[in-house]
A and B are shown apart, each in its own frame.
Chain A
Amino acid sequence: AQSVTQLDSHVSVSEGTPVLLRCNYSSSYSPSLFWYVQHPNKGLQLLLKYTSAATLVKGINGFEAEFKKSETSFHLTKPSAHMSDAAEYFCVVSDPPSGTYKYIFGTGTRLKVLA
């Protein structure tokens, strides 16, 4: 069965410093991996998506993630945090073997950006 593990439930960074949100996946297949962001009381917004093309994926708002098969990781990074980046971030793996392509969510990482 496929799964994702978000290693940190909370991350705090100062504005202008780099952001690293960690995600490890477990999959017997070539996975599709996603990062979504959820601002308070809002829906989920797709940040970026990996689907077996380039291993370094660039997303919106300056975020990017690198797929590392050897480490089964898909960490999300941003060179310089902005106050507006404060939100909940979810790493997601798609489950194509089930035939439904349903998403399996990680437990989420709450990013706090300090002024």
Chain B
Amino acid sequence: GAVVSQHPSWVICKSGTSVKIECRSLDFQATTMFWYRQFPKQSLMLMATSNEGSKATYEQGVEKDKFLINHASLTLSTLTVTSAHPEDSSFYICSARELTRGRDTQYFGPGTRLTVL
């Protein structure tokens, strides 16, 4: 089946530093990837849609200058949390949309837990 990986799986950083999270589709090409944020015991909230070779589309209320998204290839999207603060601590999940073999389904990565001290 389709596999999506994320790296790192968890990260702890100091306030004011930047953190980069990678999302990779391992066995399919994904022109579209999505980034979600999940607070403890809550649902997933879509942050942005990442399209290969173009600028990301951010959901209302998401600061695009704080959450930088780059989708440089058909198998890799990155999310950089710039100047992180404790309120950015969360579980970040990516997904990749597979359109091949007649399917149109999102496959999710295992998530990255970010803790900002």
Contacts and interface: CB of A to CB of B under 8 A. Distances in A.
Interface of A: 32, 34, 36, 41-46, 49, 51, 90, 94, 100-108
B97 A101 contact: yes
Given A100-B57, A101-B32, A107 B43 contact: yes
B57 A90 contact: no
Give the dominant DSSP class at A's interface. strand
Interface string B43-69: 111100100000001000000000000
A82 B39 CA distance: 27
Given A101-B97, A102-B34, A46 B44 contact: no
A103 B46 contact: yes
| Interface size range of chain B in the complex | 20 to 34
Given A36-B108, A44-B108, A100-B32, A105 B43 contact: yes
Interface of B: 4, 6, 32, 34, 42-46, 49, 57, 93, 95, 97, 104-111, 113
27 contacts: A32-B104, A34-B105, A41-B113, A43-B4, A43-B6, A43-B93, A43-B109, A44-B95, A46-B105, A49-B105, A90-B43, A90-B44, A94-B104, A100-B32, A100-B49, A100-B57, A101-B32, A102-B49, A103-B34, A103-B46, A103-B95, A103-B106, A104-B46, A105-B44, A105-B45, A107-B42, A108-B42
Nearest to B109: A43
